[in-house]
Amino acid sequence: MTITNSEIKKLYGLAAGRCSICKVNVFLNDVHIGEMAHIIAKSTNGTRGGEELSHGRNSYENLILLCANHHTEVDQNPQRYPVNELNRIKSEHERVAASVFESPRERQNDVDFLSLFMRFVPFTRLRYFTDGLPISASLNLCAVGDTFEALLIDNPHLYPLNDSGLQTRFDSFIKSYYALWRLIAGFTNIDGRHQAHFSQANDRGDLHMEKRHLPYTEVVKLSKKINTRHHEFIAEHAGLIDFIRKNFKEVDLDSYEPYKI
């Protein structure tokens, strides 16, 4: 059975005529570059072809709209793109496409929140500010928590975010930040006294681990904890950047404006 016109219209309509992964318009300069990819191959010998089907192989439920490049990538990387991941990508893309028209005010609130956050946080440089961990970090990193907390007070109507996918991403990011920052700004009880993990910032705004005042065993344990939290933070940061770039293109990730007295 071939793909029916009604299934084609539904697929293209709900995907807003864009690749579900890179969001490129599948009609480029009047040239059709879109492809209806099978989530579970139409042949049992094809990519993911042995997976269990709940609908017909040529049904809307088993199709995802992609550009030619991503169709090839999806079919050549079944480990990276299993059935559940493709269904998630498709569902998320269609939800974002619908939100532009079904809830424009809610989407604009999310854009406003992100734009304010990016204005006061050097977001694209956060990885650079933590590259020296577990030994050193930049005090600029604290702008993440300071800005987030200020936004909650000054603009309580903007958070939680309306887009569920964005809320999940941002929530994971901010939690990973606090988990890391608590270690940097924290202290350890040593023989009845509180010893800060990191020194006060120097003239360059750099914080350094207090290795001279912490026992060697504490330095080793703290370094391991920081490395773990640092890796989690970097992963969440990268994931949030990728999500915003794909789904909120109107947000400038590099709009940070240093405060001037």
| Structure confidence by residue, pLDDT tens digits, 132-142 | 999 999 999 99
The pTM assigned to this predicted structure is 0.75
Angle 143-154/164-184 helices, nearest 10 degrees?
A: 130
Determine the Cα–Cα distance for residues 218 and 52; give it in Å rounded to an integer: 51
What pLDDT is recorded for position 260? 58
Does residue 261 surpass a pLDDT of 60?
no
Does residue 35 surpass a pLDDT of 70?
yes
What pLDDT is recorded for position 167? 96
User: What would the mean pLDDT of 45-67 be, rounded to a whole number?
Assistant: 93
pLDDT digits (tens, 9 = 90+) for 160-210: 999 989 999 999 999 999 999 999 999 999 888 899 999 999 999 999 999
Does residue 58 surpass a pLDDT of 60?
yes
What pLDDT is recorded for position 1? 64
Does residue 100 surpass a pLDDT of 90?
no
Per the CB < 8 A criterion, the answer to whether 20 and 12 are in contact is no
CATH 3.40.1800 is held by the domain 5-102: yes
What pLDDT is recorded for position 140? 96
User: What would the mean pLDDT of 69-86 be, rounded to a whole number?
Assistant: 95
| HSE value, Cβ hemisphere, 13 Å, CA-based, for 206 | 11
Does residue 7 surpass a pLDDT of 70?
yes
User: What would the mean pLDDT of 77-89 be, rounded to a whole number?
Assistant: 95
Per the CB < 8 A criterion, the answer to whether 240 and 165 are in contact is no
Determine the Cα–Cα distance for residues 118 and 164; give it in Å rounded to an integer: 20
Contacts 24+ apart (CB under 8 A), 220-226: 222/134, 222/183, 222/188, 222/197, 223/134, 225/183, 226/133, 226/134, 226/180, 226/183, 226/184
- DSSP symbols for 37-62: EESS-SSTTSTTTTSPPSS-TTSGGG
Q: Which amino acid is at 87?
A: N
Mean pLDDT of the chain: 94
What pLDDT is recorded for position 255? 95
Would you call 236 exposed, middle or buried from its count of C-beta atoms within 10 A (0-12, 13-18, 19+)? buried
Determine the Cα–Cα distance for residues 37 and 45; give it in Å rounded to an integer: 15
Does residue 247 surpass a pLDDT of 60?
yes
What pLDDT is recorded for position 246? 87
